[in-house]
Structure 1
């Protein structure tokens, strides 16, 4: 049987049409896999990311703070919520390093930054740049106010129930965005990022330490000795306060003088009850 030009043209248009429908459906609410991705030393960012993830069904969790984190490759039809705390107006360097183990294929992603009530400055735009360089499309973003990880009296108790309600409302909007054409969102910040500085907290360990090694096991940068957990490498430490947060004996703390200095400075410059921002 002879194959006519018209017949070839018919089947060509038929299969191209099917391909167009299929590729469009991948990004129109028919998500193949969902991921909660977070760098969360003290647990706040993780809780916020997972709360938002509840609006999207079953989620796989990827913890960027784990030193044994494996490589991950996402597809175009997947969806990621990617959260990080702001450290002095920047993305923590180790979070960027770990995120580079993830590869997207024009995968839609929602950016989430938590910050302790002062300012997130260049964190959102830097996080967006890192994600886009890895093949993700940033379709939405949020800057969520959280209790400060060092000066706990600053924005104490945040995120609150109201904060989570706001996040739920915005999650519904993000779900609608996923049903249409996926377009990148613009976020505030400077692309000559501010200088990244780690404020040394000179972590102290009291006699209550049992040497259990929980801190050494969970330190994102491996700054704590397994052989003697009372020993912390001050040059490697990023002052993330994870070891202080998880110690079962409350034996670890920041240098009291530095904590007091930070607290007093923040009380002078931070406005209480700061609003969350959504993009």
Structure 2
């Protein structure tokens, strides 16, 4: 089988990267242990300025996190610019143990509109971007065992020359982006909530380096020059726990997620 394996992902905290890379590596191992995987990590804004095109000889494992039940809207323009030209795609979404809602069907639709053949799809669980306890340390070994089995099934499908498109769960038209509610039960918009910086900051600039929107000011890391998508990268990577949120509605939503969705959910796979 003369196929080029590609791992392509947006992964501010590394969970989507782990899933996508695991699938790509196992497929590559089945095809040819010496085959190099082409990795396109489009987490940082500079990478999203470069055009990407594939061919019919490519297999592309595409992964994004789920934000409010959908593909992150800040990625839509970039994803729509990626050209498939008949490449096979595995659509992968990673969510924080609440629900992936319509994210997987939305990603599948984007890929198909771009000329990909979506032959497999999966919704996996990663530690929630808001929390260090909700789906803590996932994807874990059980998840990665499922990743390996999934990748082996994908290889078998490709090897049998069965390149039929799949059907995945989700609504059309897509549901609106999920919104939390305040204590009165009224939906609240937390999109403009931004992280604060406390006295533990040592100005190491790590938060500047990991921000997927390039929004944290280099000279004054307590300031933002752009939007915050609540990806959790600056908070989870800060070595001194200097970044935090204090917005009442955000913290209420975080607490409710941790309580209401504590029970473990398992990946859902489509072949």
With the length of structure 1 as denominator, give the TM-score of the two structures: 0.83
3-state DSSP class of the match of 1:72?
coil
3-state DSSP class of the match of 2:119?
strand
Which consecutive aligned stretches of 4+ in structure 1 deviate over 6 angstroms post-superposition?
A: none
- Other-structure match for 1:37: 8
2:136 to 145, 156, 160: 156
Asked whether 1:65 is paired with 2:43, we answer: yes
The answer on whether the counterparts of 1:64 and 1:99 sit within 8 Å (CA) in structure 2 is no
Asked whether 1:130 is paired with 2:101, we answer: no
Asked whether 1:218 is paired with 2:190, we answer: no
- Other-structure match for 2:18: 47
Q: Give the gaps of 5 or more residues in structure 1.
A: 1-28
CA radius of gyration, larger in = 1
- Other-structure match for 1:10: none
How many residues end up aligned between the 2 structures? 249
The answer on whether the counterparts of 1:151 and 1:259 sit within 8 Å (CA) in structure 2 is no
Alpha carbon RMSD of aligned pairs, Å?
1.9
- Other-structure match for 1:195: 176
- Other-structure match for 1:274: 265
Q: Give the gaps of 5 or more residues in structure 2.
A: 29-35, 180-188
- Other-structure match for 1:251: 242
The answer on whether the counterparts of 2:190 and 2:250 sit within 8 Å (CA) in structure 1 is no
Give the distance between the partners of 2:89 and 2:75, measured in 1 at CA: 16
Asked whether 1:182 is paired with 2:163, we answer: yes
Query: Which shifted more, 142-151 or 262-271?
Result: 262-271
Deviations 1:30-74 (A, max 9, x none): 21x211111111111111111122112321111121211121110
Deviations 1:53-110 (A, max 9, x none): 2112321111121211121110101011111111110111122222234211111010
Structure 1 or 2: more helix by fraction: 1
With the length of structure 2 as denominator, give the TM-score of the two structures: 0.85
